Structures are given as C-alpha cells and as structure tokens.
Amino acid sequence: MLKKTTAEFIGTFWLVLGGCGSAVLAAAFPQVGIGLLGVALAFGLTVLTIVYALGHISGAHLNPAVSVGLWIGGRFSFKELFPYIIAQILGGIVAAAVLYVIATGNGSSIGNFAANGYAEHSPGGYSLLAALVSEVVMTFMFLIVILGATDERAPKGFAGLAIGLSLTLIHLISIPVTNTSVNPARSISQAIFVGGWALSQLWLFILAPIAGAILAGIVYKYIFSK
C-alpha cells in the first residue's frame, strides 16, 4: 500500500504541477504563450507519462473521481479507496504549493491560479448549471474511456494513450466553461491557495466529478462488462 499511495501522490503531484503549471505560467506568456491548446495538451501529457511510468504500481488513478468510478465499476477495492484519495489530495496540494512559489517568484500575484469556477469565475461566464452539466458529462466520458481502455478485452499497451488523449479532449471542450476540473484533487489544491470564491464554489468540483464517475461505473459494470 505504501508503494501504491506514494505512486498516487507523485502522479497527482505531476498532474497538478504540469497541467495547472502550464495554465498559470505559460498559457498567456507574452508572445509565446501556449494558449488553451497547450494547456489541454499539458494535462493529457501528464496523465500519459505517469500511466506508463507508475501505472504498473498503483494503476495511476491520480484523481479521487477515477478511484470512485473504478470501485463502483468493480475494478478497485474499497479498502484502498480512501488511502488513494488522501494521497491524491496531498499530492495535488504539494504541487500547488510548489507552483505558488514559482508563480510568485517574479513578484506577480497568483491571479485565479487556474482554479475552477462558474458564473463570474467561469472563463467564459458560463452558469452554475452549465458548469454542473459539463463536469458530470466530461467525467462520465473520462471514466468510460478509462474503464474501456483498461478492460481485459481491450488491446494491450494502449490504455495510456487513450486516457491521456481523452483528458486532452476534455480540456479542449471545457476549459472555457469551468477551467476543467473532472478531478476533485486538482480543484481542491488550487482553491486552497486562491481562497474566497474558489473555496465557496469548490463543492461543485468535488460532487459533479464524483457523480459522473459513479454513473460511468454503473453503466460500464452493468452494460459493457462480460
């Protein structure tokens, strides 16, 4: 269990540092900013690299919603669920702390720090309902891809590509809506440093991804499993 939780800690650390770091440090960097496409790719690449680096140790969930969805889908033990979630949240918070130190190193404020939000805190001004639907549906599809790509009947060795690319696509769709969560650990880590509005809206980015993951676990288990 120590090896597994350490892998989840490091993997989630990399996800938050790579994904949110690209948004905070590089997205709008003068003249050479990577923009929305670059941020979306950064999130996908962090997952892609960690799946192949540490997936054989812990499964590379990197996300409490993924762990819950895999448990509901019959792929993950309940006794490991909360140790995984704790490790993921701690990894995200430590990554956010590292990013905070880097981001403020030139005297700048952290701004919104890539925190997730809706209404006036949505990048595109999208409503609470739009944010809720987006997060539930995107997480549902993310879990369908994960459950399908890791099914014993699926082609071997390609799960990391499918999962990483699906997360990239999810970000391409939903960054304008919520800054894209689909991951409570990622949302918690950034909200802690932003405080205020980010903490007050955090409930949606915990509950909606978990709801989407539970729904996907049920669908895959009872419709697509053997």
Residue with tokens 């009947």: 153
How far, in Å, CA of 44 to CA of 12, rounded?
13
Is 147's pLDDT higher than 80? yes
Contact 216, 149 (CB under 8 A): no
Phi, psi of 5 (to 5 degrees): -70, -35
Is the pLDDT assigned to residue 45 strictly greater than 90? Answer: yes
Q: Average pLDDT for residues 128-145, to the nearest whole number?
A: 98
Average pLDDT over the chain reads: 95
Quick check: 216 and 73 in contact, CB under 8 A?
A: yes
Average pLDDT over residues 204-219: 98
CA angle, residues 117, 68, 125, in degrees to nearest 5? 15
pLDDT tens, position by position, 92-129: 999 999 999 999 999 888 989 999 999 999 999 999 99
Q: Is the pLDDT of residue 179 over 90?
A: yes
**What top-level class would CATH report for the domain 2-224?**
mainly alpha
| pLDDT over threshold 90, residue 173 | yes
